[in-house]
Structure 1
Amino acid sequence: MKTTVEQRRVNVGDLTIRYLTAGNGNGGDPPLILLHGDGESALDWSWVLPMLAATHRVYAPDFPGAGDSSKPNIVYSPEFYTQFVADFLDTLGLRRVVVVGNSLGGQVALRFALSYPEAVTALVLVSSSGLGELVNPFLSQLTLLWYGEAAIAWSKTPLGAKQRAWSRAVLLFADLNRIPAEWVVEQERMAQMPGFLEANLSSLRTQLNVFGQYKILLDSLPQLQIPTLVMWGDRDQILPKEQADNGVKRLQKGQLILIPDCGHLPQIEHPELFTSALLEFLDKIT
């Protein structure tokens, strides 16, 4: 039977949040919360959500400032997103969950697990930020005064939106032949949405400067008492795979999986491998 993915909206405080959801779960299995990265949306999980929903209830929100969620003119920091996750789960009445985060979503998932350990049964960090200083200069240079604003102005135009989408694609995917057309369309669409690029730039500037990442959470990893899977593409051009190694070494219950021939978005570029690795991890801990 084909899994139906529903698109819903919910008010979280003053914000209207769009999220995707599917599945009923098996017995007492905790639901999965899927958190996307900077400059992305819940669409990133579309390629794995139906497979995960065969065994779990799954929720994938658009962060505030992204996708079809509200985009207020505020500072979009990792701390803000962490509180948003807490409020989102509270609004939906979800008490115990598995949190899966990619890139910025990984850092937010980690911060949430550290701040609300009673709410998280397991953690999955997918090419997560916050585990080392190095980051691709394509992102860190956007934090320069005026450079980011100039990039926004150009990327809001139809031609600029296309160029932005394909520039990101070259960095985020290991093989351009594996870039879904739907992902490119979503990137172009969001670039021309009021407030999206401004929110993205705000988020980047709260995490990066021209030298790289400055909010590093490696020293906090030993505090985690829960099973944690670190998953990384072995050809990630945004965050080097050595950051995955350094992170796992500090975890009490950590496991590392490298996805071969894969960039920064394993859930899109290799959805079957991603899903298989994630479900195998969950089977072992339940």
Structure 2
Amino acid sequence: MKTEVEERRINVSGLSIRYFKAGDDGLPLVLLHGDSASALDWSWVLPNLGATYRVYAPDFPGFGDSAKPSLEYTPEFLKQFLVDFLDALGIERAVLVGNSLGGQVALRFALSRPEQVAALVLVDSSGLGYAVTPLLSQLTLPGYGDVAIIGCQTPPGAKMRSWLRATLFFAHPAQAPSVWIAEQERMSQMPGFLQATLTSLRAQLNVFGQHQVFLDSLGELPMPTLVVWGTEDVVLPKEQAHDAVSRLKQGHLALIPDCGHLPHVERPEIFSAELSQFLAGVGA
């Protein structure tokens, strides 16, 4: 059974934020997208999840159709946004599901406010190992990313960037949803979006890899935690998933076969099944 997905807006600490809402009952689920993306990434799983849970999927500030002020979009800033977003909606306790950058934001929140997290789901999450594809880390070089922004904001550049991201994020780029490609192309031409992406990347990465890794802190997490990873992810290697699960008190691993960095987009049926199975054991 599927439920209707509503697009809404809310003011969070003076910023206009877009989010999607599905479902009216059950445990609250908050879905957090990755870098240079939007909440649209969850479109392929939102209707099904909304049949069982109350699901919220915001665009981070700087991304999607949320406000894009000129500032440093660090993971810590986005963690504070999550604190304020939950407060604005009156959500006291929720399951956090984060992909890539969203996973690191969810992890930071869970480490600082464990009492508010019923369960944690890290989907091809950053912050679980130093290795990352050089195709992203090289964008942090002085001047390189800034020049790339200029070209990618033009219509031809936006189209090329969208397809390049598809080859990086999908095990089968030719099968990337046309809606996903169009969203990437649209956002590339939005004022402030690529600048937010670059500041976010530089806050997470340098040319050698990820700045900060939280492996030594994972044992502090008291809540059930599911680590989901695409077996063909070339952005962040699946070995990081195995390492993370081995350090968790209540760790569970779900490897999505024949899948890249976005299991909820590329393999939504398998992703939803793994998530639902995990959540069946999580009480409100």
Whether these two folds match at TM > 0.5 is: yes
Deviations 1:148-197 (A, max 9, x none): 00000000000100110000000100012431000000000000000000
Distance 2:203 2:37 in 1: 17
Give, as a single letter, the amino acid of the residue that structure 2 aligns with 1:11.
N
1:128 aligned partner: 125
2:233 equivalent to 1:236: yes
Shift of the alpha carbon at 1:14?
1.3
CA distance, structure 2, for counterparts of residue 37 and residue 4 of structure 1: 23
Matched residue type, 1:128:
S
TM-superposed CA distance for 1:3, in Å, is: 1.5
2-structure distance, mates of 1:212, 1:226: 28
Cα distance between partner residues in 1 of 2:174 and 2:280 = 32
Structure 2 stretches lacking a partner, 5+ long: none
Q: CA deviation at 1:144?
A: 0.3
- Superposed CA offset, 1:190-217 (max 9, x none): 0000000000000000010000001111
Aligned to 2:65: 68
In structure 2, how many angstroms separate the alpha carbons of the residues matched to 1:135 and 1:177? 23
Distance 2:215 2:2 in 1: 41
C-alpha displacement at 1:25, in angstroms?
Answer: 2.1
Could you state the TM-score of these two structures normalised by the residue count of structure 1? 0.98
For 1:175 and 1:156, locate their aligned partners in 2 and report how far apart those are by CA, in whole Å: 25
CA displacement, residues 258-285 of structure 1 (integer Å, 9 cap, x when unaligned): 0000000000000000000000000022
Q: Structure 1: where are the runs of 5+ without partners?
A: none
Residue aligning to 1:199: 196
- Give CA-to-partner distance per residue, 1:104-147, whole Å, 9 cap, x none: 00000000001111110000000000000100111000000000
Instruction: Say if 2:245 and 2:252, in contact at 8 Å, map to a contact too.
Output: yes
Residue 9 of structure 1 corresponds to 9
| 1:146-161 superposed matches below 5 A | 146-161=143-158
Match of residue 242 from structure 2: 245
Query: What does 1:158-169 correspond to in 2, within 5 Å?
Result: 158-169=155-166
- 2:141 is matched with 144
Match of 2:178 in 1: 181
**Superposition CA RMSD, Å:** 0.8
State the TM-score, normalized to the length of structure 2. 0.98
- Once residues 2 and 273 of structure 1 are traced to their aligned partners in structure 2, the CA distance between those partners, rounded to angstroms, is 16
Separation in 1 of the partners of 2:210 and 2:173?
A: 27
SS at match of 2:281: helix
Structure 2 residue aligned with 1:282: 279
| Amino acid corresponding to residue 157 of structure 1 in structure 2 | T
| 1:44-59 map, 5 Å | 44-59=41-56
Task: Give structure 1 regions of 4+ aligned residues with deviation exceeding 2 angstroms.
Answer: none
How much has 1:7 moved relative to structure 2?
Answer: 0.3
- Deviation (angstroms), 1:4: 0.9
Given that 2:132 and 2:210 are in contact with CA atoms closer than 8 Å, whether structure 1 keeps it comes out as yes
Q: Tell me which residue corresponds to 2:266.
A: 269
1:73-119 Cα distance to aligned partner (Å, 9 max, x none): 00010000000000000000000100000000000000000111111
Aligned to 1:217: 214
What is the SS of the residue equivalent to 1:162? Answer: helix
Give the deviation of 1:2 after TM superposition.
4.8
Secondary structure class of the residue paired with 2:121 = strand
Amino acid in the other structure paired with 2:138: Q
The letter for the 2-side match of 1:183 is W
Match of 1:22 in 2: 22
